[in-house]
Structures are given as C-alpha cells and as structure tokens.
Amino acid sequence: MTAETTATEAAAHDGEHHTSTGISNEKLAMWVFLGSECLLFGGLISTYMFNKGRIGPNDIGPNDVFDIPFTSVSSFVLLMSSLTMVFAVSSIARGDLRGNRIWLATTAALGATFVAGQVYEFTAFYSEGLGFTTNLFGSAFYALTGFHGAHVTIGIIMLMSLYVMSMRGNLGPERSETVEIIGLYWHFVDVVWIVIFTIVYLFPQ
C-alpha cells in the first residue's frame, strides 16, 4: 500500500484538526466525562433530598446550623471564579500569556476561598454538634458538599498546574484549548454548586 497519507498521519493529527466531529478528542472527552458527572451528583443530590428530613424531632437539623448569608457570600465568590475563568480562556486565546497567568491564579484563589469557606462551615457545624455520623442529615449533607468540595479542590490543582506550565513557558496560545477544557470542568463544578446551594440551603427545610 503506497498511499501518501498513512492512516496514522491522519490519526496523528486527529487531536487538533481532522476529527470526525470537528471537536478535538480531549474536549469531547471532557464533555462526555461531565455527562457522567451529572449522574454522580444527581445520585448524591437525590440521596440528600431523600434523607435530609429523616431526623428525630430533637435532632440537629438544617435549620439549626445553616448560615445562609455566609454561604451566599462564598457561593458568590465561586460564581465570580467562573467569570475569571472566562477571562483566563479569552486571554490565552488572544496570546496574552501574562494576563492568562493572572486570571488563572485569580480563579484558583477564588476557588480556594470557597473551599476555605467550606472548611470553616464544616468546622462551625461540627462544633454546633453536627458530625458526619450524628444523623442521616449530617451524613447526607457532608457527603454531598464534601464531594463537591473535592471536585473544586481538584480543579484548583489543575489550575495551579496550568499556572506552573505557563511559568515554565509551556502554555502558549497554541494550547489555549487546554485552558478551555479545564474551564469546562470549572464551569461545570460551579453550575453544580448553584444546584446544590439552591436545593440544600435555599429550599425550605
């Protein structure tokens, strides 16, 4: 077989250009993965809703611990991090590497602020008597918000890795899609938080 384009060459460049759908493998993989994540959080949120009311009359419950104003502020911080993530993506697409680093760091910092808020919240709830093992509400609440916090933490680690790559000169405009893909994950985690915040904190208990 003496075809000038080998199967490989076509395949080799699939990553960027000649995929069947026109979307790169990496970006498509992230979308597919996020589809799966929907079911993960769907299961956890259902578990929470199923269990939050299953506490005794004198048990510690949502109304005893939630501090809505505090959590609203930290939710706002997380939402703003989606905005800065957009700036990070657009700056690298423009070739503004310094701007990209600034926005990556800002996004990571906002995310870290959110996680710090969650740590504070968990500590406060614990001191008020709500532990992971206290009752069904405690188990379900910590499992759901803890899973989300772990996702934010992984996102922060990825953002910081991008930052380090950029510092070492390995994150040029030709890689803007990498930032975009991490951005997809980040926005997803934010959207999930909007759902969790609404269902867990804002719905009447």
Interface residue with other proteins, options 161, 187, 199, 201 (CB under 8 A): 161
Min separation Cβ 197 and other proteins, Å? 20
Among 60, 65, 156, 162, binds other proteins (CB under 8 A): 162
CA-to-CA distance for 175 and 24, rounded, in angstroms?
12
Out of 54, 119, 120, 128, name the contact with other proteins by CB under 8 A. Answer: 54
Establish if 136 lies at the interface with other proteins (CB under 8 A).
yes
Distance CA 74, CA 145 (A): 13
Distances in whole angstroms, Cα of residue 87 to Cα of each of 60, 81, 151, 155, 195: 42, 10, 21, 16, 24
Residues 24-41 as b or e (16 or more Cβ within 10 Å = b): beebeebeeebeeeeeeb
Give the angle 33-34-39 at the CA atoms, nearest 5°. 100
| 183-202 positions binding other proteins, by CB under 8 A | 185
Chain positions contacting other proteins, by CB under 8 A = 1-3, 5-16, 19-21, 23-30, 32-33, 35-37, 39-40, 42-44, 47, 50-51, 54-56, 132-133, 135-136, 138-140, 143, 147, 150-151, 154, 157-158, 161-162, 165, 168-170, 172, 174-175, 177-178, 181-182, 185
